[in-house]
Each structure stands twice: as C-alpha cells, then as structure tokens.
Amino acid sequence: MILATGATGKSGREIVKQLSQAGAQVRALVRDPTKAVWLGELPGVEVVQGDLGQPETLDAAFKGIERALLLPAPAPSSVAEQANFIAAAVRAATPHVVKFSAVGADASAAEGFARWHGLGEEQLKASGLAYTILRPALFMQELLNTWGGQQTIYLPMGDARQAPVDTRDIAAVAVKTLTEDGHAGRTYEITGPESLTFTEIAAQIADATGREVNYVPITFEQYRQALTQMNLPAWLVEAIIDLYEKLATGVGSEVTNVVREVAGQEPTTFAAFAREHAQQFKGQTQRQVTSNEQGQVD
C-alpha cells in the first residue's frame, strides 16, 4: 500500500492516476474527502481524511503503508507540515518515503520554494528512513497556464536556458520510485530532453499555434510589479521572484536522462507538448495549472 499526499493537485493527481494504472494500491490523504470523490473512483485507490498541518490525523493513515509520497503544498507552512509527515512515517516505521521536491532546493536559501523544499529534504535525510528525492525542472504545464492565450511572454530570464519537463513524465518517474526497489538514497533531477531559451520556447509555441509569439525579457522589479498587480499574497510574489532569480542563473538548465533511465520512456519535447496543447496555447480552452501550482510552484 502506498500513501500519497498532494493527491488533489495537478502533479499529485497525475501520480495517483499512473499508480492506479500500474495496478498499485494507493491511499490518498486529503483534507476534505468530499472534494476528492473522483480519486476514490480510480481502481485501487482509497481516500482518507488527513491534514499535514494536524499531526494527530496522520498516524491512522500510515497503518499498513510500505511506501509514502510526500508532496507538500507550496507555502511557508510546508516546512512544519513536512516535519509532521516525516515524524508520522518514523512512528510507523515506514520502509520508504519519496519526497516531491523542486529544482534548486536548498536549505540555506533565504526563503521561498528552494528553502522550504531544502529543509524538507534535510528533515527526511535526518530521519533514518529510506528515501528518494525528486527534483523536477520547470513544468511545461506551468508555461501553458501562464502563457496560454498570450502572444508575448514577459519574464526576467534574459537568455537563460531551461529544460522544461512534462508533469506526466515526472509522474512516470515517481511511479517507478514508489513501486520498484533500487531507488533508496537517490536524488533525481528530472528534466525534459532539451535546454531552451525562452526565445526558443516562444518560437515553438508559434510553430504549434500558427501565430506569432514573442519573448520579451523584463527586469525583476517589473516582474515583481506585475505579480503584485495580480493580487497574489506577498509571500508568494517573493517566492516566485526567488525562483526565477535562481532559474536565471542557470539552475534547471542542465538536461538529465532520468526520465529515460528511471521511467524507461522518452521524455516529451516542448515542441511536441506545444503541438498537443496548441488550442490551449491559443487560449481557446481552460488552462491547466494555477499560478502557484508548481511548488516550485506544486
């Protein structure tokens, strides 16, 4: 039995879906089961109530669990919530915990997604439990959400490159680490197959949609002002700025072979992703991911 947190988020639901398709038995931990009825309809999936912020709700969920997925919320509270989850896993003597982390995770970072995930990684490593850490690069789905329907991409990335990855490929790697042996003690940097500038990304969206799409670099202060005008919480604005400051230095630009080597499949190219979602990039269908979904931002 596999315990999965974050199962109602876009990354978590894709992991649970693929676990179900693989024939795994999954226990999905959610705050409100009435809002996750669809999860319980997947073969092999049971839904239980629990809240990482309320440690007293966790022990029952760990009964009979052989492996657990820790997919924390992208918020300052995640540091304490990860600690609660890991403590419950220790009490249950859970054989293996897989942590969904983020590109550039760093406990020494001043704040933001990198720090929250970095502290979670350190807590897990210090627990004595067998662990695997997943560090996905920038999500292709996040680019779709942010820029779907837009013909101009404004970001403070200059000419920096990224190796964006499809969340379905991330899920395929996660499924292997949750259902197979041989991954304990490993940290997997999960990327797409190409390192692209945002000028190249814009060109591939243009090719897929048949209309002009351009990338315009802006300053971080301009980006902060734009995020603030979206009425995002101040902590989220600063977390996103911190993320892109790291990405602009090249974090997340190096291509790895993790999807091929661990999941045993070819990673999705951004060009193929853009063609598959051409209508959404034109803005003609609903976007896929909320602006703070990735956790990095997921």
Whether residue 196 is predicted with pLDDT greater than 70 in this model: the reply is yes
Mean pLDDT (the chain, rounded): 93
244 lies in some domain: no
DSSP E strands, the chain: 2-4, 26-30, 45-49, 67-70, 96-100, 130-136, 152-155, 161-162, 186-190, 196-197, 214-217
Which whole number is the average pLDDT over 156-164?
97
What is the reported pLDDT for 21? 97
The span from the CA of 165 to the CA of 259, in Å, is: 9
53 lies in some domain: yes
Percentage of the chain modeled with pLDDT above 90:
90
Q: What tokens does 281 get?
A: 């990039």
What's the pLDDT tens digit per position in 258-294? 999 999 999 999 999 999 999 999 987 543 333 334 4
Which whole number is the average pLDDT over 245-259?
96
What is the reported pLDDT for 79? 96
Q: Are strands 161-162 and 196-197 parallel, antiparallel or unpaired?
A: antiparallel
- Could you tell me the pLDDT band of residue 296, with boundaries at 50, 70 and 90? very low
What is the reported pLDDT for 146? 86
What's the pLDDT tens digit per position in 226-248? 999 999 999 999 999 999 999 99
199 lies in some domain: no
- What CATH number is attached to the domain comprising 130? 3.40.50.720
219 lies in some domain: no
Phi, psi of 228 (to 5 degrees): -65, -40
The span from the CA of 190 to the CA of 257, in Å, is: 8
What is the reported pLDDT for 291? 37
**Percent helix, strand and coil across the chain, each to the nearest 5:** 45, 15, 40
Q: Which domain holds residue 56?
A: 2-138+166-190
Which whole number is the average pLDDT over 9-34?
95
What is the reported pLDDT for 170? 98
Whether residue 222 is predicted with pLDDT greater than 70 in this model: the reply is yes
What is the reported pLDDT for 294? 42
- Could you tell me the pLDDT band of residue 110, with boundaries at 50, 70 and 90? confident
What is the reported pLDDT for 82? 97
161 lies in some domain: no
49 lies in some domain: yes
pTM equals 0.92
51 lies in some domain: yes
Q: Give the chain's domain count.
A: 1
Residue 238: alpha-carbon gap to chain centroid: 18
What is the reported pLDDT for 289? 33
The mean-pLDDT minimum among 107-111, 113-117, 174-178, 233-237 falls in: 107-111
What is the reported pLDDT for 226? 95
What is the reported pLDDT for 147? 87
Q: Report whether 30 contacts 8 (CB < 8 A).
A: yes
Which whole number is the average pLDDT over 140-149?
90
